[in-house]
Every structure is written in C-alpha cells, then in structure tokens.
C-alpha cells in the first residue's frame, strides 16, 4: 500500500558553473566572485561544477602545463569546499555532450551576437595572432555547458553577465522553435565582490593573465607574497578608509576585507577610523592569508592523492553524462537527426 504520509521529495533547483584551468590556481577575484559561493549553495541546490578545459584552449596553452593545471584546478575547487558527494564535480572534456550540444547551438547563434561579446573583443585584441573560431564561439560552448543540465541558476562574477544573457537568448530562441527543450537560466551574481579589481590598477578587473605580478593575488600564493602584494596595492593620498566613488583602490580593499571577514562597509570604516593605509592594507592581507590557509593545506593534501582525485572526477563525469545525455537526445530529436 502507498504510504501517503511520506514527505514528497522536493526537487531542488539546479546550479551550474565553470572555471577555466588557465593557471593551476585561481585569483582572489575568481574565489570571492564565484567559487567561494559554490560550496555555500550545495545543500539547497543540485549543483554541477566543471573545470572548463575546452574553453581554456581558445587561447594557446602548453599541453603538459594544461594537463597539470586541470588537475590542480580540480583539486582546488574541492579544497574551496565543493563536496563531490553533494555536487557533481567534473572536467569538461570528459563529458562529450558538451562539444556535441555546442555544435548544434552554434547553428542557432548569430554572427552578430557573437561579434558583440566584449570578452571576444578584449581577448582578440590581446591575442591578435590567434583569433581562432573557438575564441569567437566560446559563448555557445558556455551556453551548452549551462543548458545541458536544465540549469536554473549560474553563480558567476559580473564579467560573465553578457555571456549569460546570450545563453538565455539561445535557450529562448530554441524553445520558441521547438517547444520547451531548455530551462532558461538566471545569473547569480554576488552583491559584494562580483568584480574584484587589480591591486596595481583598480580601474581594471583582477585577472589571471595580468602581466603585472603585483596586480593579482592567487589562491596558492605563499603568505608572505600575499602580504607583499597587499602592501603595494595602489590607493590614493587621502589616508582615509572610507567607501567613496573617487577611491577605487580603497573601495576594492574594503570589498575584499568585507567578503573575507563578513564585516560590513560601515563596520570597516569604524574599525579603521584614524588609522593609516599601512595598517589597513596589512589587516586585509592578513585576513586573506587566514582565509586561504586551510584551502592551501587541503589543496596540497588532495594533490598528493592522485588516485582519490581520479575517482572523484570519474564519478563526476559519469553522473554529468547521465544527466546531460537526456537533454542532448531531446535536442537531436527536435532538430531532426535520424535516430540510430
Ligand atoms: P582571465 O582573466 O584569464 O580571462 P578569469 O580570471 O576571468 O580569466 P575565468 O575562469 O574566466 O577566469 O572565470 C571564473 C569565474 O571567476 C567567473 O565566474 C568569473 O565571472 C569570475 N571572476 C573572474 N574575475 C573576477 C573578478 N576580478 N572579480 C570577481 N569575479 C571574477
Ligand atoms: N566563461 C566562464 C567560464 C565558464 C562558465 C561556464 C561559467 C564556462 N562555462 C558555464 C558558468 C557556466 C568564465 O568564467 N570566463
């Protein structure tokens, strides 16, 4: 007999996000803007997180280094709190449906749309000798990543908003032609730390590929390097820890301190009233070092256990394939591919 008193299993909304393994480490911007939130969402959502190595080859990579960086980045998302028992953690190239759906979506994405992407414009200016088709169609692969899992929410930093909008447009277009095939995803962009700026030039976003070593804090930087980078952060000459439009350097440091300690902007202003920038920069550096210490230790432990990492990414790929294949099958049917 059916047990009517048994609670109905509630279907949790789906989260998907990805990060490139372009260095084996992530920047403090990647972490505060995106990855830190990934672990927090694991209990309330069905989450899938991917190391997107196929996106990484849109700019030239050294193959041996890419392989090493991919494993390190995978270990790093686990070290940042992604639990492979709760979430699906996998490496993009292990799950063939991503490339397969990306091809189909390429045929439903317009040249004009891709031409308007600011990341494409920035990256093609930066890599003028290698403006390849993959760099151009990067957003349709990203749309495939997201749409394969019938994703509701995509936690990313503010710089990915335009790509996300395009993924929504592609989903709506496809649904308009063929009925409800894809869930239309929404972005999940944090209120603080959605755009961490370079420490050397607070007018620019903190980026993995900045040539200025002082601009970017990496999660695997040794503590003394982190402190040094914060000490040399570009600020202004007012010596007042206050959040104001004309103080981008201080605003950035305050956002970082707030994201790491949980203190509000007002609390930080009170805490550092009458103190100089030297004290404040040191406090931010020390807070970041403390936040990263357990992550660095866990990353080192995980990297020493390659068999465990492999068992995690294999299990993740298997689960990811199972879910994503269902969406791909539907798509193939809708567009008229002969079943076999
Ligand atoms: P690159 O700078 O080489 O283009 P990236 O640092 O932007 O790379 P990605 O793998 O493209 O790295 O981004 C991973 C995630 O980190 C994305 O969700 C992105 O929005 C977020 N992110 C990247 N930079 C920042 C930043 N400065 N502040 C907040 N979030 C960021
Ligand atoms: N383009 C993203 C990385 C990325 C991604 C995704 C993010 C690839 N596929 C799917 C969210 C969902 C970036 O951060 N540069």
Q: Which pLDDT belongs to residue 193?
A: 85
Six-digit token string for 209: 């590929």
Q: Which pLDDT belongs to residue 203?
A: 95
Q: Is 163 in the pocket of ligand 2 (CB under 6 A)?
A: yes
Active site residue 231: no
Separation of alpha carbons 216 and 204, rounded Å:
11
Of all protein residues, the one whose alpha carbon is nearest to atom 11 of ligand 2 is: 17
Q: Is 156 in the pocket of ligand 2 (CB under 6 A)?
A: yes
| Dist. CA 163 → ligand 2 center (Å) | 8
Q: Which of 276, 180, 219 is nearest to 19 (CA)?
A: 219
Helical H segments across 88-243, by residue range? 97-106, 111-115, 118-126, 133-147, 161-178, 223-231
Contacts of 7 (CB under 8 A, 6+ apart): none
Name the closest ligand to CA 35. Answer: 1
Measured in degrees and rounded to the nearest 5, phi and psi for residue 129 equal -85, 0
pLDDT in tens, the chain (340 residues): 445 555 555 689 999 999 999 888 999 999 999 999 999 999 999 999 999 999 999 999 999 999 999 999 999 999 999 999 999 999 999 999 999 999 999 999 999 999 999 999 999 999 999 999 999 999 999 999 999 999 999 999 999 999 999 999 999 999 999 999 999 999 999 888 889 999 999 999 999 888 999 999 999 999 999 999 999 999 999 999 999 999 999 999 999 999 999 999 999 999 999 999 999 999 999 999 999 999 999 999 999 999 999 999 999 999 999 999 999 999 999 999 999 8
189 - beta bridge partners?
A: none
3-class secondary structure per residue, 197-217: ECCCCCCCECCCCCCCCCCCC
Q: Which pLDDT belongs to residue 7?
A: 56
Q: Which pLDDT belongs to residue 209?
A: 82
Q: Is 160 in the pocket of ligand 1 (CB under 6 A)?
A: yes
Contacts of 35 (CB under 8 A, 6+ apart): 19, 26, 77, 80, 82
The total number of residues shown for the chain amounts to 340
Q: Which pLDDT belongs to residue 10?
A: 64
Cα angle 262-268-273, degrees, rounded to a multiple of 5: 165
Separation of alpha carbons 223 and 232, rounded Å:
14
Q: Is 50 in the pocket of ligand 1 (CB under 6 A)?
A: no
Q: Is the dihedral of CA 312, 43, 188, 235 positive or negative?
A: negative
Separation of alpha carbons 87 and 319, rounded Å:
10
Q: Is 319 in the pocket of ligand 1 (CB under 6 A)?
A: no
Name the active-site residue from 68, 86, 161, 208: 208
Active site residue 275: no
Q: Which of 60, 30, 48, 22 is nearest to 160 (CA)?
A: 30
The pairing of beta strand 153-155 with beta strand 186-188: parallel
Q: Which pLDDT belongs to residue 24?
A: 82
Distance of CA 97 to the CA centre of its chain: 20
Could you report how far apart the first and last alpha carbons of the chain are, in Å?
40
Active site residue 12: no
Distance of CA 26 to the CA centre of its chain: 9
Q: What is the pTM of this model?
A: 0.94
Name the active-site residue from 36, 123, 229, 281: 123
Contact assessment for residue 58 and residue 74, using Cβ atoms and an 8 Å cutoff:
no
Six-digit token string for 296: 């660095």
User: What is the residue whose two structure tokens read 């447009």?
Assistant: 169
Q: Is 55 in the pocket of ligand 1 (CB under 6 A)?
A: no
Separation of alpha carbons 123 and 121, rounded Å:
6
Contacts of 279 (CB under 8 A, 6+ apart): 272
Using alpha carbons, list the distances in angstroms from residue 298 to 80, 90, 148, 150.
Answer: 8, 18, 31, 32
51 - beta bridge partners?
A: 19, 91
Six-digit token string for 227: 């402190």
Separation of alpha carbons 72 and 80, rounded Å:
12
Q: Is the dihedral of CA 333, 337, 13, 191 positive or negative?
A: negative
Q: Can you list the positions of beta strands (E) in the chain?
A: 14-19, 46-51, 88-91, 153-155, 186-188
Q: Which ligand 2 atom minimizes the distance to the CA of 145?
A: 10
Give the DSSP H/E element, type plus range, for residue 306. Answer: helix 306-335
């Amino acid at each position: 007999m059916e047990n009517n008193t048994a609670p109905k299993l509630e279907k949790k909304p789906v989260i998907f996000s990805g990060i490139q393994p372009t260095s084996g480490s992530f920047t403090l911007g990647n972490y505060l803007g995106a990855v830190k939130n990934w672990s927090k969402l694991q209990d309330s959502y069905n989450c899938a997180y991917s190391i997107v190595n196929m996106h990484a080859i849109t700019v030239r990579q050294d193959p041996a280094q890419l392989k090493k960086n991919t494993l390190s980045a995978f270990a790093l998302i686990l070290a940042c709190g992604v639990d492979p028992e709760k979430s699906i953690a996998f490496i993009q190239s292990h799950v063939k449906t991503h490339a397969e759906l990306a091809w189909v979506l390429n045929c439903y994405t317009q040249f004009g749309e891709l031409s308007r992407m600011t990341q494409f414009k920035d990256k093609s200016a930066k890599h003028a000798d290698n403006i390849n088709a993959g760099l151009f169609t990067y957003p349709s692969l990203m749309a495939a990543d997201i749409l394969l899992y019938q994703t509701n929410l995509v936690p990313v930093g503010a710089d990915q908003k335009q790509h996300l909008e395009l993924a929504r447009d592609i989903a709506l277009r496809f649904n308009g032609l063929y009925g409800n095939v894809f869930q239309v995803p929404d972005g999940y962009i944090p209120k603080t730390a959605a755009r961490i700026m370079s420490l050397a030039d607070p007018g620019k976003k903190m980026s993995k590929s900045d040539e200025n070593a002082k601009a970017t804090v990496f999660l695997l930087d040794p503590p003394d390097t982190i402190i040094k980078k914060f000490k040399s952060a570009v600020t202004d000459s007012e010596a007042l820890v206050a959040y104001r439009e004309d103080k981008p350097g201080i605003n950035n440091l305050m956002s970082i301190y707030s994201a790491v300690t949980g203190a509000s902007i007002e609390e930080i202003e009170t805490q550092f009233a009458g103190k100089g920038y030297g004290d404040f920069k040191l406090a931010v550096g020390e807070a970041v070092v403390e936040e990263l210490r357990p992550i660095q230790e866990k990353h080192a432990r995980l990297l020493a256990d390659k068999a465990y990492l492999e068992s995690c990414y294999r299990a993740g790929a298997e689960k990811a394939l199972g879910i994503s294949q269902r969406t791909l099958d539907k798509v193939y049917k809708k567009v008229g591919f002969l079943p076999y």
